[in-house]
Amino acid sequence: MDHFAGLDVSVKETSVCIVDDSGRIVREVKVPSEPAALLQILKSDDYSFKRIGLEAGPLSQWLFSGLAEVDLPVICVETWHMRAVLQAQINKTDRNDARGIAQMMRAGLYRPVHVKTLRSQKLRMLLTHRKLLQSKAIAVDNDLRGTLRNFGLKVGVIGTVRFEARVRELLDGFPDLAELVEPLLIVRRTLRDQIAILHRRLLAIVRSDDVCRRLMTVPGVGPVVAIDLSGYRGCARALPKLQGGRSGLRTDASQVSIRRDRPLRCHIEVWR
């Protein structure tokens, strides 16, 4: 007899519902949201699972990897599609959601989504953290420019390297303002140092990756876009279908290096 399971995942606990091929509920239990705790339930010899479903969410990649490593037929399903069905329930609880997911897996009424590999997740984390630090550093620069302008001190057009020296030059003769600006300059210097560390890490990955180096032969594609596109490696099903039935890679590149010192924000589309 085939069995189907639905997992309603929250941060602390996961509601598990197991049904047979006739739709009868075999077991319901709530366990901690940990792969080991789920495996104690799902690896039992009493069940022969055909499909195990869980919604895409913050913990889905981690739990999916833990279950897939032991060859369980786990499927990550689209959140919006599943939510539209589950909202039809009168009493929407974690327990009822797990029941609904299990029944949807039994009936085959679900939309699977691709789960990124561990490598792709690490590359995404690198790009996300780098972009976060960049946005904070730019915000500090803009705040310094705006606040100093109130006192008639204009930073003007200046590069990143000479920015701090220019600010100190303007503050010469204003010791009271210098005391207020100094903490921001320290924060800005720290942010720039950490951005450089992450960027060096990014460049090291690109140099050692043949796919990234090949992508950089395309005009307008720099290290950031190359490493972003390389994250789609091995997930052809996740690629969107383009006109004419061809599949392709599409990314909203936050930064495309046309010249080393001149980033161009644009929309890059690479055909496979």
Q: What is the mean pLDDT of residues 6-31?
A: 92
Place of tokens 């399903």: 77
DSSP 54: E
The number of C-alpha atoms within 13 Å of 68 and in the hemisphere containing its C-beta is 16
> What does the pLDDT average to over 226-248?
57
Closest CA to 255 of 247, 264, 244: 264
Q: How far is CA 216 from CA 29, 122, 207, 269, in A?
A: 51, 20, 11, 13
- Tell me the residue ranges of DSSP E strands in 37-193: 49-55, 74-77
pLDDT at 187 > cutoff 90? yes
Confidence of residue 234 (pLDDT cuts 50, 70, 90): low
Whole-number pLDDT of residue 232: 65
Report whether 4 contacts 104 (CB < 8 A).
no
**What is the value of pTM for the model shown?**
0.72
The more confidently predicted of residues 255 and 66 is 66
Residue 264: pLDDT over 60: no
Residue 266 has pLDDT above 80, yes or no: no
Count the neighbouring beta carbons within 10 Å of the beta carbon of residue 217: 8
Contact in structure between 167 and 174 (CB atoms under 8 Å): no
The stretch 114-137 carries a mean pLDDT of 90
- The H or E element spanning position 139 is helix 118-149
| Run of H or E including 167 | helix 163-170
Q: Is 251 helix (H, G, I), strand (E, B) or coil?
A: strand
Q: Which of 49-58, 88-97, 124-133, 226-235 has the lowest mean pLDDT?
A: 226-235
